[in-house]
Copies of this chain bind each other. A is one copy, B any other.
Amino acid sequence: MRGPRPEPAEEPPDREWEQDLLLAAAYVSDAQYNRNVPFETSPRAIRLYYFYNHWTLRVATYVFICVDLSLALFEEPALFPLPFLATSIVEVLCLTAFFGRLVHFAKVTPQMVFWKDTKNICILVTIALTLLDLIIYGSLEAVQIHGIRWSRAFRPVFLINFPESRQIRRALRSLRNTLPDILYVFLLFMFSVLIFSLMALKLFGDRGLKTAEGSPYLTNILEIAFELYVLVTTANSPDVMMPAYDFNRWYSLYFIAYIIINTYIFMSVFLAVVYNNYRKHLKNEIRKLVYLKRHKMMEAFKILKVKVGTEFVVREAEWKRLARMVVPDISSSHLELLWRISDEGQKGHVDRMNFLRLADLLNIQVVTVNIRKHPLEAWAPRVYQSSASLFVQRMVRHRAFVWVYDVIILVNAIFIALDERSLFISRAEWFFLCLYVAEILLKLYTYEPRAYLGRKQFWNWFDILIIIAALVATVANATIQSARRYNSQQVLDIVLILRILRLLRVIVSIQRFRVIVTTLVNIGPTVLTFAGLVFVVYYAFAIVGMEVFQGKVRFFDPNFTSPDALVCGNPALRGSAFARARYCKNNFNDLASAFLLLTELTVVNQWHVIAGGFALATHQAAKLYFIFFHVVVVILIVNIFIAFILEAFFVAYSLEKSELETVIEKKIQELGVGIQEEEEQDKKPTDNVGSKDGGSSGGDGDHGGAAAKGLYCRIASNKYRTVDALLQRMFESEIAPDEEGPSLDEILSFSPSDMYVKNPNFENSA
């Protein structure tokens, strides 16, 4: 009758507690209420659930996924070749692990839920297909026929469907949802390209014009369509026009019309469509998420509620048992503080509205605030408080200290730009290093070390890491140099980069820049979602590319004098733009090269030269591969990326101007037990946070208890939140706290189109 207990909290910044709270409620409650507990509740099932969520198993799954994906490095065409037998054994091992994990998941999930989830079906099908492919390829190999390992392109499926990759799945969903809308625009765009191609054929086809390379100019409709598609990406921008322009000035109008319509207008429309869909679906998902969470909390409330007077409430005892169950290592003072925030009238029970807030409460960081003494002060108070020591501390805290070091960094920058081979300069570098080390030591002496190296003191960490790394590398290099009389190139490169990264610190001293940098740093983690998405797409394209193009283009060492070196080992490339630009190393001969080549294609410029090269080396149809890549990556994914950055900036901007406070935060403020994170952040050399203590505890005697113990709630400032979290918060602030909310089925079938209100709002909508 008892639900499995959730994992002890590893405390990610914003954990979603609702599912755990619901389970714990079923466990806490003595009622036989488990209609909403969708799992077997036998002790064995609970152990299995435990085990499934154990971190070792999760990490193991990650490792297997990585191994499976990295197999492409060892298979033909390989960076580090291994025999087929070895890679196939490893692959089968991975597949077994995935299958085992899936079976395990099936055991802890109700059958119906399991089979409804497309994720599980996807994994099963992919496992089956991969096995099939392995068998076919293996048997063909046995009779010396070279097959194709087509299933390798599906490997990212495992990465996507791993439960923790929710962000990547959402990005993919957003991509899929955009497709129907973008399809019509794309068809129209292709139609426009075709009409212009036809015009070009008629206008220029018979003129006998020649390109700069001397080949005939726009004579074949397919070639024209390709050139015009390339012109949309601007990659062949003036070149494709020059022969016509040289012939007659007026023909340039044709190209200008083409560029305005297809490059500027259509590409902006693509961005508009993608952005609009991204917004729409993002908001829908957030609404779904918020309602789902609320639904779970409501269920938990139903399980625990008792009737007191006219209303249903949850009593203190149950409430605290619940919280303790979900966060086993919660301290009693922490729990007491949370209870004080929840229990409005100190009635010994909470009503539904306050109960619903429990999950949010658990996410509030509670910090122990006391005036921490500097360890040196505790150890040798006399010396630390001496006038010389106090002078040093005052000096370090002074604003001029920062300025002096900014100047030192800039002087250092000039030294770096100068030639480092002179003895004076290399000595100076040691001098600068000493100055930086001294700075860190002085700061550690002045500020409380634990505060100075707090979790969010990004720039302090940055300083220390850069300096320590530079120190180690410089010493290592000096050692190698004096011992063997040669510079290790790798170590030197690292030293150089570290030395230059130090310059970044100057930016942080300037307030205006710090704001922009902070926004950019905040976007960072979510940019990684896109890195995941891009990795998945690149991987699939790379596998296909490697199968089709391997060995067609080869790179020879520049000093190699064979005539083949100049045509990338393929005589078909003689005289091509590809060979002339020395692009031989842009090939599909191993996974790393393929990834780099795809990156170059994403950047777009010269992609037609690369596509043309591979088309010459194999077949003209090869261009389709490159066009398809352009449509998927540049038109869809890059636009979603831009949409994401725009959205992040707009949300950050609209919040900068507003004061979106949750009910809980207001409550915390009222109780006087809150500290703003900004307060900690902004005075960069963090004086101990306790300075706030005196001001806030003076309020009301009754609440002074917790505050005196030094427990405070940390209120996250707006600027440390992600777009997701911000939107959730905005949406939560709009639904009435006592609203029942839609039913579970309604929630799951939300669609973006029923979100729009009748009267768009002027302030915000446009």
**Chain A residues near B (Cβ < 8 Å):** 184-185, 187-188, 191, 195, 198-199, 201-203, 212, 221, 234-239, 241-242, 245-246, 249, 252, 256, 259, 263-265, 268-269, 271-273, 275-276, 279, 283, 413, 416-417, 420, 493, 496-497, 500-501, 503-504, 507, 512-513, 516-517, 520, 523, 527, 555, 558, 580-583, 585-586, 592, 596, 599-600, 603-606, 610, 638, 641-642, 645-647, 649-651, 653-655, 657-660, 723, 726-727, 730-731, 733-734, 753, 755-766
* Known A-B contacts A275-B646, A507-B191, A605-B234; A242 and B583 likewise in contact (beta carbons under 8 Å): yes
User: Do B600 and A731 have beta carbons less than 8 Å apart?
Assistant: no
User: Do A581 and B242 have beta carbons less than 8 Å apart?
Assistant: yes
Chain B residues within 8 Å of A184, by CB = 512-513, 516
Closest B residue to A279 by beta carbon equals: B766
* Known A-B contacts A249-B592, A645-B265; A202 and B599 likewise in contact (beta carbons under 8 Å): no
What's the number of copies of this chain in the assembled complex? Answer: 2
User: Do A234 and B271 have beta carbons less than 8 Å apart?
Assistant: no
Q: Which of B268, B638, B660, B766 is in CB contact (< 8 Å) with A654?
A: B766
User: Do B195 and A650 have beta carbons less than 8 Å apart?
Assistant: no
Q: Which of B272, B727, B756 is in CB contact (< 8 Å) with A657?
A: B756
A-B contact pairs, 18 of them (CB 8 A): A184-B512, A188-B517, A198-B416, A238-B583, A239-B606, A242-B583, A246-B558, A265-B523, A269-B649, A271-B646, A272-B650, A605-B605, A650-B766, A651-B765, A657-B760, A659-B759, A734-B761, A763-B765
Complex Cα distance, B558 from A265, in Å, reads: 34
User: Do B641 and A760 have beta carbons less than 8 Å apart?
Assistant: no
* Known A-B contacts A235-B605, A764-B761; A202 and B496 likewise in contact (beta carbons under 8 Å): yes
* Known A-B contacts A237-B605, A649-B273; A756 and B654 likewise in contact (beta carbons under 8 Å): yes
Complex Cα distance, B241 from A184, in Å, reads: 37
User: Do B658 and A513 have beta carbons less than 8 Å apart?
Assistant: no
User: Do B765 and A730 have beta carbons less than 8 Å apart?
Assistant: yes
Chain B residues within 8 Å of A605, by CB = 234-238, 605
Complex Cα distance, B763 from A733, in Å, reads: 12
- The smallest beta-carbon distance between A554 and chain B, in angstroms, is 13
Closest B residue to A592 by beta carbon equals: B249
Apart from A246-B558, A654-B756, A654-B766, list 6 A-B contacts with CB within 8 A: A184-B516, A198-B417, A237-B600, A246-B585, A268-B641, A731-B762
Closest B residue to A489 by beta carbon equals: B248
- The smallest beta-carbon distance between A39 and chain B, in angstroms, is 34
- The smallest beta-carbon distance between A183 and chain B, in angstroms, is 9
User: Do B413 and A198 have beta carbons less than 8 Å apart?
Assistant: yes
Closest B residue to A249 by beta carbon equals: B592
* Known A-B contacts A283-B762, A731-B762, A765-B764; A188 and B503 likewise in contact (beta carbons under 8 Å): no
User: Do A730 and B256 have beta carbons less than 8 Å apart?
Assistant: no
Chain B residues within 8 Å of A493, by CB = 203
User: Do B188 and A513 have beta carbons less than 8 Å apart?
Assistant: yes
- The smallest beta-carbon distance between A3 and chain B, in angstroms, is 33
User: Do A586 and B238 have beta carbons less than 8 Å apart?
Assistant: yes
- The smallest beta-carbon distance between A224 and chain B, in angstroms, is 11
Complex Cα distance, B641 from A221, in Å, reads: 32
User: Do A660 and B246 have beta carbons less than 8 Å apart?
Assistant: no
- The smallest beta-carbon distance between A312 and chain B, in angstroms, is 29
* Known A-B contacts A252-B596, A416-B202; A763 and B766 likewise in contact (beta carbons under 8 Å): no
Chain B residues within 8 Å of A650, by CB = 272, 276, 765-766
Complex Cα distance, B731 from A758, in Å, reads: 15
Chain B residues within 8 Å of A651, by CB = 765-766
Most chain B beta-carbon contacts within 10 A, residue among A239, A276, A606, A761: A761
Chain B residues within 8 Å of A187, by CB = 513
Chain B residues within 8 Å of A655, by CB = 760
Chain B residues within 8 Å of A596, by CB = 245, 252, 256
Complex Cα distance, B413 from A659, in Å, reads: 61
- Closest A-B pairs by Cβ, 7 of them: A237-B605, A764-B764, A272-B649, A657-B756, A268-B645, A764-B765, A202-B496
Q: Which of B234, B265, B760 is in CB contact (< 8 Å) with A764?
A: B760
User: Do A646 and B268 have beta carbons less than 8 Å apart?
Assistant: yes
Chain B residues within 8 Å of A583, by CB = 238, 242
Complex Cα distance, B599 from A264, in Å, reads: 12
Closest B residue to A756 by beta carbon equals: B657
Chain B residues within 8 Å of A764, by CB = 760-761, 763-765
Closest B residue to A290 by beta carbon equals: B762
- The smallest beta-carbon distance between A267 and chain B, in angstroms, is 9
User: Do B660 and A760 have beta carbons less than 8 Å apart?
Assistant: yes
Chain B residues within 8 Å of A503, by CB = 195, 198
- The smallest beta-carbon distance between A196 and chain B, in angstroms, is 9
User: Do A603 and B263 have beta carbons less than 8 Å apart?
Assistant: yes
Chain B residues within 8 Å of A256, by CB = 596, 599
- The smallest beta-carbon distance between A92 and chain B, in angstroms, is 31
- The smallest beta-carbon distance between A477 and chain B, in angstroms, is 14
- The smallest beta-carbon distance between A712 and chain B, in angstroms, is 26
User: Do A212 and B582 have beta carbons less than 8 Å apart?
Assistant: yes
- The smallest beta-carbon distance between A56 and chain B, in angstroms, is 32
Complex Cα distance, B581 from A201, in Å, reads: 23
- The smallest beta-carbon distance between A698 and chain B, in angstroms, is 29
Chain B residues within 8 Å of A252, by CB = 596
User: Do B500 and A647 have beta carbons less than 8 Å apart?
Assistant: no
User: Do B195 and A504 have beta carbons less than 8 Å apart?
Assistant: yes
Chain B residues within 8 Å of A755, by CB = 763
Complex Cα distance, B655 from A276, in Å, reads: 13
* Known A-B contacts A195-B500, A273-B649, A645-B265; A730 and B239 likewise in contact (beta carbons under 8 Å): no
- The smallest beta-carbon distance between A586 and chain B, in angstroms, is 7
User: Do B762 and A500 have beta carbons less than 8 Å apart?
Assistant: no
Chain B residues within 8 Å of A727, by CB = 762, 766
Closest B residue to A267 by beta carbon equals: B642
User: Do B765 and A756 have beta carbons less than 8 Å apart?
Assistant: no
Complex Cα distance, B734 from A202, in Å, reads: 55
User: Do A516 and B185 have beta carbons less than 8 Å apart?
Assistant: yes
- The smallest beta-carbon distance between A721 and chain B, in angstroms, is 13
Complex Cα distance, B734 from A26, in Å, reads: 49
Complex Cα distance, B265 from A642, in Å, reads: 8
- The smallest beta-carbon distance between A757 and chain B, in angstroms, is 6
Q: Which of B600, B734, B766 is in CB contact (< 8 Å) with A238?
A: B600
Chain B residues within 8 Å of A641, by CB = 264, 268
Chain B residues within 8 Å of A241, by CB = 600
- The smallest beta-carbon distance between A612 and chain B, in angstroms, is 13
Chain B residues within 8 Å of A513, by CB = 184, 187-188
Chain B residues within 8 Å of A730, by CB = 760-762, 765-766
